[in-house]
Amino acid sequence: MITLYKFGEAFGLPDASPFVTKAEILLKMAELAYVADFDGLGEAPKGKLPYLKDDGEIVADSTFIRLHIEDKYSFDFDADLDDRQRGLAWAVEKLMEDNLYWTLLSQRWMHEGNFDFGPSMFFEAIPEPARAEITEATKKRIARSLFGQGTGLHSEEEKYQLAIRTIDHAAAILGDNNYIMGANPCGADAFVFAILAGVSAKGFDTPLISAVNEHSNLVDYLARMHSRYFS
């Protein structure tokens, strides 16, 4: 039996974390049955979600979950792609993980209004005064990771300049295709969907909502992916 450790639905998204959504879509693509567990963060081997347990074997990190599914279940997420397309799909996914994810983190956690609208809910169950202390410590930890990665060094304008360029290029790569690399979904679609849905989630104060919505092909793509994997 497979257990996927996740945060849970939030902000109108299948999960608060795009990496969890990626892992969930990968399981669905491979048609593997799984149960969700919402209490795994404290035991997470890498301190992050997602991870999964598959017949006692623990696999942490969404990309290692992909490799595990490929190896153990002989499932090829990119079966329709030639070697060059496989390389491009991997590059697109890793671009999104390295650029858009960090902008998402910054926009949710470092912007007071967005924090109050979004991530503050993660702390609601903690009684005061611990709640305020844990909230501040978590924000500081995330700020440090943003600085370490580099996105935290940029101004708001610079962060969004890079993110919008990534979104515009994603729209160009998608073009008239139904999925990022063609007529059928491939492994990269799992994160491309998750992160584009994440940065354009309604209710947050961010230019990335209009940056996504001005591309009708991206809007259609998000609806198509959502209906295919989460309806």
Ligand X SMILES: N[C@@H](CCC(=O)N[C@@H](CS)C(=O)NCC(=O)O)C(=O)O
Interacting residues with ligand X (CB under 6 A): 17, 19, 47-50, 61-63
Q: Which is nearer to ligand X, 19 or 171 (CB)?
A: 19
CB of 101 to ligand X, least distance (A): 7
For residue 151, the minimal CB distance to ligand X (Å) is: 13
Query: Which residue, 98 or 205, has its beta carbon nearer to ligand X?
Result: 98
State the minimum distance, in angstroms, from the CB of residue 16 to ligand X: 7
Q: Which is nearer to ligand X, 63 or 217 (CB)?
A: 63
Least separation in angstroms between residue 106's CB and ligand X is 12
3-state DSSP of the chain: CEEEECCCCECCECCCCHHHHHHHHHHHHCCCCCEEECCCHHHCCCCCCCEEEECCEEEECHHHHHHHHHHHHCCCCCCCCCHHHHHHHHHHHHHHHHHHHHHHHHHHHCCHHHHHHCHHHHHCCCCCCHHHHHHHHHHHHHHHHHHHHCHHHCCHHHHHHHHHHHHHHHHHHHCCCCECCECCCCHHHHHHHHHHHHHCCCCCCCCHHHHHHCCHHHHHHHHHHHHHHHC
Q: Which is nearer to ligand X, 32 or 41 (CB)?
A: 41
| Shortest Å distance, C-beta 176 to ligand X | 30
Q: Residue 15 or residue 78: which is nearer to ligand X going by CB? A: 15
